[in-house]
Structure 1
């Protein structure tokens, strides 16, 4: 599923640039993705769209001094590394509370735990994509470049 999501991110600059599900399924099949993987990704994207619709409501409900307390089942599912990464993005000022909630919602929709950090990074990228925002260069570097491949200046 994550390969399909990355392909969509790289191919379509916004979610509304994607064709309807039927045409998109045909295109993804032609590229070589499996039907199950395509359906899983499209279902996940539908959930992302639903979460995005409630973005404004969540923004109004969150105050500037609000604190996110993770439930035990969220920590278990996400894993401490992923929770730490989400907190890093928040503290860096690049992941506002409503988008954080979208990330957590979509991560919780993925089976298996704890969540792989690389999969969480794709989810973060897809949340930015879904709201039509481009993460700044430093965040893109954090999302795509492996720590051992970074050059220290």
Structure 2
């Protein structure tokens, strides 16, 4: 499923190619690209639920102002995200790339991936997909895109 999300993001959304709106045509396109029907349906449902997160009725906790809240990860979240990934989320929040609502959207989408463990690279792509889909997060998206594609220079300490 994650491969399909990456394929869609890189080939349609991120590349500024006109997105095929028709569900059946998109399914046909993904089938021609070699993806299985079951995985295609899971990926499209994942994207639909991402769009639904923007509506206050689906996740009312996203409307509350929680600027000074501390995020405590559940046992399931700790199992799915290693320490580096959890630290990266906190880092993004401290940078202002994520706020309370977008962080929770990222966590919601991460927990619905069919991956036993989410790598930091996977997490970066989920963050990018979430920010791309949230109106008003263009600056955060651009900042995250820079973090995703920049190559470290020199030695890291």
TM over 0.5: yes
Aligned residue runs from structure 1 range 60-99, under 5 A: 60-99=63-102
**1:136: how far off?**
4.9
Count of paired positions: 148
Whether 1:143 aligns to 2:145 is: no
Report if aligned partners of 2:110, 2:123 keep a CA contact under 8 Å in 1.
Answer: yes
Describe how 1:4-153 pairs up with structure 2 within 5 A: 4-10=4-10, 11-12=12-13, 17-54=19-56, 57-132=60-135, 133-134=137-138, 135-145=140-150, 149-152=151-154
CA distance in 1, matches of 2:143, 2:46: 27
Contact 1:77 1:115 in 2 (8 A): yes
Between 1:81-90 and 1:114-123, the stretch displaced more is: 114-123
What CA distance in whole angstroms lies between the structure 1 residues aligned with 2:7 and 2:115? Answer: 22
- Tell me whether 77-86 or 57-66 shows the greater mean CA deviation: 57-66
Higher helix share: 1
Structure 2-normalised TM-score? 0.77
Residues 42-78 of structure 1, C-alpha deviation per residue, up to 9 Å, x if partnerless? 1211221222223884443133222222222221222
Extract unaligned runs of 5+ from structure 1: none
User: Tell me, what secondary structure is at the counterpart of 2:69?
Assistant: coil
Give the secondary-structure state (helix, strand or coil) at the position aligned to 1:70. Answer: coil
User: Which range moves more in the overlay, 95-104 or 27-36?
Assistant: 27-36
* Contact in 1 for aligned 2:53/2:59 (Cα 8 Å): no
Assess if the C-alpha contact under 8 Å between 1:49 and 1:130 holds in 2.
Answer: yes
State the shift of 1:150 in Å.
2.1
For the Cα contact (< 8 Å) 2:2–2:113, is it kept in 1? no
